[in-house]
Amino acid sequence: MTTPSHSPRGADEPSSPPPGCPAHGLGPGGLRRLYGPEADADLAGIYEKLRAEHGSVAPVLVHDDVPIWAVIGHTEVLHMLRTRTHFTRDSRRLRVVQDGTFRPDNPLAPMVTWAPLISFADGAEHQRVRGAINDALAAIDDRGLRRFIHRSSQRLVNEFCETGTADLVSQFAEHLPMAVMCEVLGMPDEYNERLVQAGRDMTKGSETAVASNEYVMEVLNRHTARRRADPKEDFTSRLLTHPAQLADDEVAQNLRVVLIAAHEGTANLMANVLRMVLTDPRFRAQLNGGQMTVPEAIEQSLWDEPPMSAQLAYAAIQDAELGGKQIKAGDALMYVSSAGNLDPVVRPDPKASMAGNRAHLAFGGGAHECPGQDIARAIADIGVDALLMRLPDAELAVDEKELRWRQTIIARHLVELPVTFTPRPQQDVKLRPTMGGVPAPRSEWEVSTPAPAQRSLATVPAQASAEDRSEQRLAPIPAAPPAGDEEPPRGALQRLLRWWRGY
Ligand code: HEM
């Protein structure tokens, strides 16, 4: 069998097969391509063919026919992520980078080309940068964040609630995470349609991905320079002033990781959860019956449709065996969360509910496991909850079968989610200019929603919103209501409720 180590570009290239030929979609060495027409049509189907042909680790080709191992077994993914002596994210070690097979203009370059950022760091260097990012995330005021998410959701709904129709992907799911992350980073003025589109484009592996990456970096370099000169109470300033002493370029590059991971991942998650809410009759019935919560739908969706379906590119540090395959030092590997989540070893019945089980691969694992997952859950939970509260009769405007998806090697997302609903007036939303002051880091800070078993609507009032439920856990003993610039609430109960919700 040909492996990524043994299939230089162009070798054994079959003459172009006609469409419909069984060899269609195969590249040099007879390896399956994870790009091109066949992959665009059904990438998940290719992974299942690979599982049948090769087991949990399969040799494949990505853009420009660059050879790579696709790790598609659940156990093997975790083994690779947790064995730092054998596998690294330092892409300078990749043979395909060293020998020029992977060219700088490859559409996957933003995800593969080494840069001084957390994703490509290893060992002590990774701990230095990760420590700074963890500390900067931990200093976020979780109540202020929840309030901001809620109000941003309301503002977005205000933009279409009077019309009776909306596309929940382009008008809601794609905007909320970027609005929230621009606020977290301290650059709310940079939040605009162009940044939303550039963020999406960078991860599409499209021809314009490199240009979009340049635009995002221009914004982040400018913002970093501004905050270096004038630090404020935000994530960016905390990175710049952290004892880890990150250079400006490091800060800007790491802001890109945070911004893009947060934007792309959370937008996809929200779209997937909204689709589930709108199309899955069991979910709707259960939701009305008070059994299934939005957080449970989020977790199920993270199993069924991980928002980032695959991660590029890990490098083998030394020769190793993985899933029965001989991996050579310098080989490239990618892990496929979507395929790993469907591994029959851990999930014999893919239709079975995964309630209470968070062992999915949607947030990766090992040293590089996503540090922002609780924020992602908070954005999706509060955003979807707010939308359902405002537009409870929203219905899909087309047949579910007509929904279109855009598939790339690293993500699969809904192109649009058109809905109709009874037109409603806008709601008054007074957004403060910032998330508010940032208190000292808390040792037990967590934005996440409780594990599904703990988090049932049965434990909180039936009409409680996402903030109600989470604030109940975060702050069981109400203290004084926060000072705000909004209309004073009437009555003690309302005051308590507003304090409780955090908005
Ligand atoms: C649903 C939304 C999200 C998904 C699916 C997601 C997924 C992931 C995955 C799979 C990784 C690991 C990549 C690897 O193996 O190298 C990762 C890393 C990372 N994520 Fe997320 N993410 C999401 C949201 C966020 C948010 C909201 C933030 C920040 C607030 C964030 C910040 C990061 C950072 C900084 C890393 C790099 C960690 C490291 O290399 O040590 N992510 N994310």
| CA 273 to mean position of chain CA atoms | 13
Q: Is it the case that residue 369 has pLDDT exceeding 50?
A: yes
Instruction: Specify the pLDDT at position 224.
Output: 97
Q: Is it the case that residue 17 has pLDDT exceeding 60?
A: no
CA of 369 to the centre of ligand 1 (A): 7
Q: Is it the case that residue 47 has pLDDT exceeding 50?
A: yes
Instruction: Specify the pLDDT at position 192.
Output: 85
In angstroms, rounded to a whole number, what is the distance separating the alpha carbons of residues 256 and 190? 14
Instruction: State what percent of residues in the chain have pLDDT above 90.
Output: 64
Instruction: Specify the pLDDT at position 7.
Output: 42
- Tokens coding 37: 């027409």
Q: Is it the case that residue 317 has pLDDT exceeding 50?
A: yes
DSSP line for 278-310: HH-HHHHHHHHTT-S-HHHHHHHHHHHS-SS-E
| CA 76 to mean position of chain CA atoms | 22
Q: In which band, very low, low, confident or very high, does the pLDDT at 207 lie, cut at 50, 70 and 90?
A: confident
In angstroms, rounded to a whole number, what is the distance separating the alpha carbons of residues 90 and 316? 10
Q: Regarding predicted confidence, which is higher, 250 or 488?
A: 250
Q: Is it the case that residue 204 has pLDDT exceeding 70?
A: no
Instruction: Specify the pLDDT at position 205.
Output: 56
Kindly report the number of other CB atoms within 10 A of residue 145's CB atom. 21
**Residue minimizing CA distance to atom 5 of ligand 1:** 265
Q: What is the pLDDT of residues 397-423, one digit of tens each?
A: 999 999 999 888 988 889 999 999 999
Q: For residue 225, report the phi and psi dihedrals to the nearest 5 degrees.
A: -60, -40
In angstroms, rounded to a whole number, what is the distance separating the alpha carbons of residues 490 and 122? 54
Let me know if 318 is exposed, middle or buried by CB neighbors in 10 A (0-12, 13-18, 19+): exposed
Catalogue all structural domains in the chain, each as residue range(s) with its CATH number: 126-501 (1.10.630.10)
Mean pLDDT along residues 430-450: 38
307 touches ligand 1 (CB under 6 Å): yes
Instruction: Specify the pLDDT at position 433.
Output: 43
Instruction: Specify the pLDDT at position 288.
Output: 57
Mean pLDDT along residues 450-455: 32
In angstroms, rounded to a whole number, what is the distance separating the alpha carbons of residues 403 and 415? 8
CA of 130 to the centre of ligand 1 (A): 12
| Inter-residue contact 68 to 49 (CB < 8 Å) | no
Q: Is it the case that residue 491 has pLDDT exceeding 60?
A: no
Q: What is the pLDDT of residues 345-357, one digit of tens each?
A: 999 999 888 888 9
Q: Is it the case that residue 153 has pLDDT exceeding 90?
A: yes
Residue among 363, 384, 413 to mutate when testing ligand 1 (max atoms within 8 A of CB) = 363
78 touches ligand 1 (CB under 6 Å): no
Q: For residue 477, report the phi and psi dihedrals to the nearest 5 degrees.
A: -110, 105
What is the pTM (predicted TM-score) of this model?
A: 0.83
365 touches ligand 1 (CB under 6 Å): no
Q: In which band, very low, low, confident or very high, does the pLDDT at 194 lie, cut at 50, 70 and 90?
A: confident
In angstroms, rounded to a whole number, what is the distance separating the alpha carbons of residues 326 and 419? 50
Q: What is the pLDDT of residues 87-136, one digit of tens each?
A: 999 999 999 999 999 999 898 887 899 988 899 999 999 999 999 999 99
257 touches ligand 1 (CB under 6 Å): yes
Q: Is it the case that residue 333 has pLDDT exceeding 70?
A: yes
253 touches ligand 1 (CB under 6 Å): no
Q: Regarding predicted confidence, which is higher, 49 or 440?
A: 49
133 touches ligand 1 (CB under 6 Å): yes
For residue 379, which atom of ligand 1 is closest to its CA?
27
Residue among 370, 377, 446 to mutate when testing ligand 1 (max atoms within 8 A of CB) = 370
- Tokens coding 31: 């390896």
Mean predicted lDDT score pLDDT of the chain? 82
Q: In which band, very low, low, confident or very high, does the pLDDT at 291 lie, cut at 50, 70 and 90?
A: low
